[in-house]
């Protein structure tokens, strides 16, 4: 399970790099904020790892 979670978080970092490739918000009038939640199970407690990301 740790391998799956690390892989998912690594992929999330790659998406973030596409949003702000320079890492400094260059050219934007404001700063970017992000909230991320890792879910590993459904309400029925089935194994279903997924990540929710909100970027503002």
Rounded-to-integer distance, Cα 47 and Cα 4, Å: 12
Mean pLDDT of 4-8: 83
How many Cα atoms are found within 13 Å in the side-chain-facing hemisphere of 51? Answer: 17
- What pLDDT is attached to residue 46? 92
> Does the pLDDT of residue 33 top 70, yes or no?
yes
């Amino acid at each position: 399970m740790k391998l799956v979670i690390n892989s998912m978080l690594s992929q999330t970092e790659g998406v973030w790099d596409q949003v702000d490739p320079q890492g400094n918000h260059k050219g934007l009038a404001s700063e970017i904020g992000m909230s991320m939640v890792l879910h590993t199970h459904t309400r029925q407690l089935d194994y279903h790892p997924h990540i929710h990301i909100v970027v503002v």
